[in-house]
Amino acid sequence: MTGGTIRPQRRTQASQPTRTTAVALSKPDLTGGTSKAQTGTPALSAGVLSPVWLTVAEVCDELKVARSTWEKWRQKGDAPRAVRLPNGQLRVRREWLDEWIEDRLSVDAYG
């Protein structure tokens, strides 16, 4: 060997490691915040459509009824299906509300 120094081999553009950017996927927000999952548009989560969850206030607004009417329906067992969260709040899946409305329309129409 001669008295020269050994230089490390230079990396070319092609051999540079590629950086990937993490993309946050939308998840249903069950805490009452605003997210795409609560606006009526199903959110894409890991390639699977996640359910749309509505608050009781959103359900009452859509049905144009007072909260007291909702409570009466719940006591009688006539309200749409709902889930109680660990914090005590209720949520109704969009599809459950739609099914409940369809059931009521078919009963009223055919008497």
pLDDT digits (tens, 9 = 90+) for 27-71: 445 554 444 444 455 555 556 688 999 999 999 999 999 999 999
Q: When comparing pLDDT for 6 and 21, which is higher?
A: 6
The H or E element spanning position 96 is helix 94-110
| DSSP label of 15 | G
Round to whole Å and give the CA distance between 75 and 53.
21
Grouping H, G, I as helix, E, B as strand and the rest as coil, residue 39 is coil
Between 55 and 12, the more confident residue is: 55
Which of helix, strand or coil describes residue 14? helix
Q: Could you give the angle at which helices 56-63 and 67-76 cross, rounded to 10 degrees?
A: 100
Q: What is the pTM of this model?
A: 0.56
53-55/90-93 β-pairing: antiparallel
